[in-house]
Amino acid sequence: MKALKEVMSWIIPVVIGLAIALAIKQFVFTRVRVDGPSMEPNLDNNEKVFAFKQSKIKHLSVIVFDAHGEDPAAKANTNYVKRVIGLPGDTVTSKNGYIYVNKKKINQGFISKSEQTSGTGNWTLASLQKTNGWGNGTTVVPKGKYFVLGDHRSVSNDSRYWGFVNKDKVLGVVKVPVWASNKTKRANVNNLAY
C-alpha cells in the first residue's frame, strides 16, 4: 500500500501537468514551423513561431491555417502561413504592385518594392476567379472567409491561385517570440494588424 501511494504521488502531478499542456495546446496556442519561402523576408523557412488560437484576425494579421481542402494541391495535415489582406465584405484589387482594400491603398512597408511588384500583377477578385477557375465571380470576400497573400509574392501559393480561406480552417494568429528573429521582422508579423 505504501508503494502504491508513493507511485501515485508522482504519477498524479505528471498526469495533471500533461492535461494542462494539452489544454493549452488545444485552446490557447500551438507551436508552428514555417515551411518554404513564401513569407520571406519576415518569416524564414524552418522558423518556429506560435499560433494563438483566441487572437482576433484583422487586416495584415499573419495566420496559420489547414490548407487541405483550401488549396487543391495541399495534402492532409498541411498548414500554410499567410498574411490576411481581405476580411469578409472587403474588396481587394492589385494595380502596379499596390494592393487596395476597399479602394484604399494598404501600406506594404513590411516588404520591399520588388516583393510588392514582382509576381503581383494587376487583378480584382473577380478576375482572379475567372483566370484561375475558383469561386463564382464574387467581387467581395465572402462571409466567414479571408483573402490571404504571402509576403514574397513572386513565389507564394496563396488566395490568388486557389481562393478564399474558410474561417473554420484557421488554427491561429502567428506571433514571433521575442527571442527569435530580429526586431523589425517581429514587428512586421506581430504589430501590423489593424
Residues classed as catalytic: 38, 82
Helices marked H in the chain — which ranges?
Answer: 2-27, 113-117, 125-132, 159-162, 183-190
The SS3 call for residue 166 is: strand
- For 45, 70, 148, 171, the CA distances from 80, given in Å and listed in that order, are 12, 10, 10, 10
Look up residue 145 and give its three cell numbers: 472567409
How far apart (Å, rounded) are the C-alpha atoms in residues 98 and 160? 15
State the DSSP string of 84-138: EEE-TT--EEEETTEEEETTEEPP-TTS-HHHHHTTT-SEEHHHHHHHHT-S---
Look up residue 172 and give its three cell numbers: 491561429
- Contacting residues for 74 by C-beta, under 8 A, at least 6 apart: 67, 68, 80
